[in-house]
Every structure is written in C-alpha cells, then in structure tokens.
Amino acid sequence: MKLHVKSWGVVIAIGLITSIALSGIAYAALGDSLPGRGSKGSEVIELQKKLVRLGYGVGTIDGKFGPLTEAAIQNFQKDRGLRVNGMADTQTIKELKSLTEQSTNASGKAVGYKNIDTNILARCVNAEARGEPYIGQVAVAAVIINRMADPAYPKTISDIIYQPQAFSSVADGQINLPPSASALRAAQEAANGSDPSRGAVYFFNPDKTKNKYIWSRPQIKKIGNQIFTK
C-alpha cells in the first residue's frame, strides 16, 4: 500500500515538472525571447509571420533569422519610429503584437476587417497621402475604414472611395496610379485594426482647402500635413 502511494507521488511530481516545462515552451513561442541574427525556431517563425502580415517581406518563412528578416525589422522599426537595430527587441515585439493581434468585442468574439479590399485602399492612400509620413498614411487608410461603421457612408471600401466628390484623387485620376510599398503596408496595417487618427472620418490639408464645412469639423489631431477630424 505504501509503495502504491509513493508511485502516485512520483507520477504527480513528473506531471508537475512536465506542466512547468510545457508552460515555458508555450511562453517562448509567443516571441518574447528577443530573437536576433542567427536565431532559429518557432519564435522566429511567428516573428516572420507578423512582419509578412504587415507587408514586410522576409523571403521564405523558415524560422531562420537571416539578413532578409533583419532588413524587414529595420524597415518596420524605421516606419514606427523605433530604435533601428534590426533586432526583435522588447519594444519591437510589443509593437508587432499590438498591430497584429486580433481584437475582440465585449463578448470576447473576434472582430476585424476581413473583407477589406486593401489594394483599392492602398491606391487611395497613395493618391491622398503621398509624401506624408508613414503613420499619416496609416491614419488616412483608417479614416476610410472608419466610414464603414458610419451610417452616413456606404458599407464597402470601394463604394466609400468612389462616392461622388468624396476624394479629389478619384476626380483627377490619381486613384489609378499603382500604390507604393508604403501605401500597401499602411492599408494592411489599418485593415489589421491600427488607427492613428483616433476614430476620425475626415482628413484635410489646411494649406490646400478653405472649405468651411471641413474646417468646422471637431479636430482630433494633426499628422504630417493632414488634420484629422470627427
């Protein structure tokens, strides 16, 4: 009988050790181990997937932290105003997670923008925010997406963009220009839920318009040359 008790004690001890070990593995898989050049494994795979999701090419997603992954991180860090070191440091990982993790509503149900045409969105960003800082391009894309939830606007990105007199780039044909790499990334980032405009549904360049209506809108913030409003 005593031997039986001891056997169960050994089983429980082994189970606890295994559980602790597996917890450590799961935690490492979240990408919190700060991989850098030469690193390999599941953390690097997750890192590469997040970069690709935001439009930063890494070549093959193979779990190997090589020069392409390093260059992608450097571009990401530059675009986000982070320290550019090519390493997946704490702040870089935090920023990547905040931009790629799925949002949920009050009931815990995942929400997102899965039906967004990011190509037409990127073309509009390219036409309306060319020359603006990257974060400003994301904000312009977010404004267009925010209009989808406003009953005053159509319910698709294409219909919003091509709504009569909505965007000057449609009238002058610049909407038809191929989008830049940064516009594509900005559109994808906004589609993933990023909104530097803080919920704006309008934006304008104060040096290029005297429109009384747009100037009357409650201003939220200015990014680059653009003012974003409610």
Give residue 215's pLDDT band: very low, low, confident or very high (50, 70, 90). very high
Tens digit of pLDDT for each residue in 42-54? 889 889 888 876 7
pLDDT > 50? residue 37: yes
Tens digit of pLDDT for each residue in 164-178? 889 989 989 999 999
Give residue 81's pLDDT band: very low, low, confident or very high (50, 70, 90). confident
Asked if residue 26 is part of any domain, the answer here is no
Residues 190 and 149 in one domain: yes
Q: pLDDT at position 226, please?
A: 95
Q: Which letter, b or e, does each residue of 144-177 get, where b requires 16 or more Cβ atoms within 10 Å of its Cβ? A: bbbbbeeeebeeebeebbeeeebbebbeeebbee
Give residue 17's pLDDT band: very low, low, confident or very high (50, 70, 90). very low
Residues 119 and 221 in one domain: yes
Contact 143, 201 (CB under 8 A): yes
Mean of the per-residue pLDDT values of the chain: 81
What's the total number of domains in the chain?
Answer: 2
User: How many residues are present in the chain?
Assistant: 230
Asked if residue 58 is part of any domain, the answer here is yes
Residues 122 and 222 in one domain: yes
pLDDT > 80? residue 6: no
The span from the CA of 91 to the CA of 228, in Å, is 27
Q: Which residue has the tokens 């989008």?
A: 179
- Long-range CB pairs of 94-100 (<8 Å, 24+ gap) are 96/31, 96/47, 96/50, 96/51, 96/54, 97/31, 97/50, 99/50, 99/54, 99/189, 99/192, 99/193, 99/194, 100/50, 100/53, 100/54, 100/192
Asked if residue 130 is part of any domain, the answer here is yes
Residues 85 and 190 in one domain: no
Q: Looking at residue 198, which CATH number applies to its domain?
A: 1.10.10.2520
Q: Which residue has the tokens 């974060």?
A: 135
Tens digit of pLDDT for each residue in 86-136? 999 999 988 888 776 654 444 444 445 555 788 899 999 999 999 999 999
What predicted TM-score, i.e. pTM, was given to this entire model?
0.59
Q: pLDDT at position 214, please?
A: 93
* Domain interval for residue 43: 32-101
Give residue 137's pLDDT band: very low, low, confident or very high (50, 70, 90). very high
The span from the CA of 142 to the CA of 121, in Å, is 10
pLDDT > 70? residue 193: yes
Q: Work out the average pLDDT over 11-16.
A: 47
Specify which of 3-12, 29-38, 59-68, 125-134 reaches the highest per-range mean pLDDT. 125-134
